[in-house]
Structure 1
Amino acid sequence: MKKTILLIILILFGAVTLFMSSSVLFDWFGIRAKEGNFVPLVVWANWLCGILYLITAYAILKNQSWAKLPLIISLVILVIAYIGLFIHINNGELYETKTIGAMAFRMIVTALFLFTTIKILKK
């Protein structure tokens, strides 16, 4: 049951992340204009993480022992992007204030995915 719920959440979160970040990066559906002052490094990091969430879902579905690896990589990418965001801010570049909270939220969610994946793989 927990495995199914995790799979559904990972697939949904990964798909939405991939869609939204690629929409900003490639200016699909006018979403870029609605996002305001986005930070490209953060959007690219989110795009990569969206792919990694979907890879994790596949690995969990196939009961692969390496399923936690894409989530570890995602956390590293997000931490690097978070540091990059603060460098961007300190250089006086434009950004949206909501990005700081959104990145913190994404790191927490990814850590929860990782923790849950580890627990599920041990069973």
Structure 2
Amino acid sequence: MKKTILLIFLLLFGFLTLFMSSSVLFDWFGIRAKEGNFVPFIVWANWLCGMLYLITAYAIFKNKIWAKVPLIISLIILVLAYIGLFIHINNGGIFETKTVGAMAFRILVSALFLYIITKISKK
């Protein structure tokens, strides 16, 4: 049951992440203008993590032992991007304040996904 719930959340979060980040990157539906001063490397990091969430969902669905690996990679990418964001901000780069909170949220959600999959796989 927990595995199914995790799978659903990973799929939803992955597809939502892919949709929103690709909409900003490729200016679909006028979303880029609504995002304001976005930081391109943050959007690319989010897009890549969206792909990794979907790969993780596939691995969980297929009961693969490597299911944690994409989540670990996504956490590394997000933490490095978050550090890069603060370097960007300290160097006077333009950004949206909501990006700082959104990245913290994404890191926490990814860590929670990893924690849950680790607990499930130990059983």
TM-score by shorter chain over 0.5: yes
State the identity %: 80
Note the residue ranges of structure 1 that are not aligned, 5 or more in a row: none
| Aligned twin of 1:36 | 36
Query: What is the alpha-carbon distance in structure 1 between the residues aligned to residue 117 and residue 48 of structure 2?
Result: 19
Query: What CA deviation, in whole Å up to 9, does each residue of 1:43-82 have, x standing for no partner?
Result: 0000000000000000000111100000000000000100
Query: What CA deviation, in whole Å up to 9, does each residue of 1:14-70 have, x standing for no partner?
Result: 000000000000101100000000000110000000000000000000111100000
* Cα shift at 1:96: 0.3
Report the TM-score when normalising by structure 1: 0.99
Query: What is the alpha-carbon distance in structure 2 between the residues aligned to residue 91 and residue 27 of structure 1?
Result: 26
Note the residue ranges of structure 2 that are not aligned, 5 or more in a row: none
Equivalent pairs, count:
123
After superposing on structure 2, the runs of 4+ consecutive aligned residues of structure 1 that deviate more than 6 Å are none
Report the TM-score when normalising by structure 2: 0.99
Residues 56, 70 of structure 1: 8 Å contact kept: yes
The residue type paired with residue 53 of structure 1 is Y
Query: What is the alpha-carbon distance in structure 2 between the residues aligned to residue 42 and residue 79 of structure 1?
Result: 11
